[in-house]
Each structure stands twice: as C-alpha cells, then as structure tokens.
Chain A
C-alpha cells in the first residue's frame, strides 16, 4: 500500500528551526516528485516546495526562499523539510504529497500532516 507517514506534532519557539520527516512506503520513491504544502489554522493550502526524483534538485516558493530546504535520505526512503527562523505565522499543518506522474502536477498521495506550533 502506497503511504506517506508523518510525525504528529512539533512545538518550537520563535527563531528556532524544525525538521519534518515524511517516510515513504509501497512505491519507488525515486521515480516521483515530492511536494510540501502547508495549511495554517482555518486557512487554505499553500504550496511550499518540490524535490526532483533524483533527490538533488529542489524548487521553492518565493515566500520561503532562503529559509527552507527539502531533502531525501535514499537509504530509508524518507523525505525531510527543514524550515528555520520560525515565527508565529509558521504555525500550520505541514503535508508532504507525492506527484502521481512526472510532470502532471497531480498530488495523489498525501501524508496525514505534521502540526507545527510556534509559540514563546
């Protein structure tokens, strides 16, 4: 069964950083793009970043440029999203999502989300 497993919740203070894992199972992770999307409480979806199947090329939304990195551990099939210089506005649920077919932009499998709370 194709799955993306994410951890439950993280709490950070303003100015800190967070690393969110996304563990894949049931498919060849090196054949699919992996996207990251977040959703602030009561708000809409916001696209953040995408990692190329090679694991070596990433593209980031302009609003996160300079304080985000997405990577992959090929030995475990786990993807990571690192976000630093956190502020209260970064409080949100962070999702990883698989792109179904290369170049389709279709996110067919989603993790359950990781809630990140930024508070002093």
Chain B
C-alpha cells in the first residue's frame, strides 16, 4: 500500500487561510470516510485534528476543517497563526483493518 500523496510544503501569512491536499486512490480515500488529519510539532507525538473526514475532536480549534471530494481529502486552516506551523499528515482506512498515512506537509507561517 503506497503512501497518500501530500504536497511537501505549504505556506501562508498570519490570518490567511490555507488548504492542504491528500490524494489517494479509489480503494482508500475514494471509498472510505475514515480519513483523519494529524498535526506534529518537532520532537512531539502527532495530535489528532480531524477525523472521519470533517469531525473535530473536543479541544481542537474550529479554524481547522476537513472535506473530501473523490479520492482527495483536504484540510483547511483558517486564520493562520504562528502556532499552526508544523507538519501535517493525513491518514485513510484502506481495507481489512489496514490504514495508510500521507507523505506529510510542512506548513510554514510567513
């Protein structure tokens, strides 16, 4: 199972909105709604930001939102803040209880 494809880097200025993409195949992102997104700061464990395509866990800012169209999932960060600078990974259910992560996107706040 090959990794989902994410852009290596995305940048934006404080206050702007940015969208991160996560492209898979019909057999993973295209079929299942079990797509989640994780934020990872250097030297830290990943943090769940979005699950089941567009649900936010308790405590996650509503500046983070998720969506999906076909085999591409997206994470939008609105009102970009300095603390949002981190690596972001998508993850999708594949089948038979297996999952696959994306290649990761480094978000830079200019």
Q: Which residues does A use to contact B, with CB under 8 Å?
A: 35, 37, 44-47, 50, 59, 61-62, 95, 97, 100, 103-108, 110-113
| Consensus secondary structure, chain B interface | strand
User: Would A111 and B97 be within 8 Å (CB), given that A45-B38, A105-B36, A106-B51 are in contact?
Assistant: no
A contact residues around B87 at 8 Å (CB): 44
Across-interface contacts of A50 in B (CB, < 8 A): 97-99
B100 within 8 A of A: yes
- Return the chain B residue nearest A105 by Cβ: B34
From B52, which residue of chain A is reached at the shortest CB distance?
Answer: A104
Give the residue name and chain of the A residue nearest to B48 (CB): A108
A104 contacts B34, C-beta separation under 8 Å: yes
A72 smallest CB distance to B (angstroms): 16
Question: A107 to B52, Cβ gap below 8 A?
Answer: no
CB closest residue in chain A, given B96? A59
Closest 7 A/B residue pairs (Cβ): A106-B51, A105-B34, A59-B97, A110-B45, A44-B104, A45-B101, A47-B99
Q: Which residues of B contact A105 (CB under 8 A)?
A: 34-36, 51-52, 91-93, 99
Could you tell me how many residues of chain B have their Cβ less than 8 Å away from some Cβ of chain A? 29
B46 at interface by CB-CB < 8 Å: yes
Enumerate 12 A-B pairs (CB-CB under 8 Å) in ascending A order: A35-B99, A44-B87, A45-B38, A45-B101, A47-B98, A50-B98, A62-B98, A95-B45, A104-B51, A105-B35, A105-B92, A106-B51
Q: Is the CB of B57 within 8 A of A106?
A: yes
Q: Which of A44, A106, A113 contacts B45 (CB 8 A)?
A: A113
For the complex, give the distance between the alpha carbons of A35 and B46 in Å: 13
A111 to B45, CA, bound (A): 7
Measured between beta carbons, the chain A residues less than 8 angstroms from B35 are: 105
A47 and B45 contact, Cβ closer than 8 Å, known pairs A106-B51, A107-B36, A107-B38: no
Q: Which residue of chain B has its CB nearest to the CB of A44?
A: B104
Give residues 40-99 of B contacting A (CB, 8 Å): 40, 45-48, 51-52, 55, 57, 87, 89, 91-93, 96-99
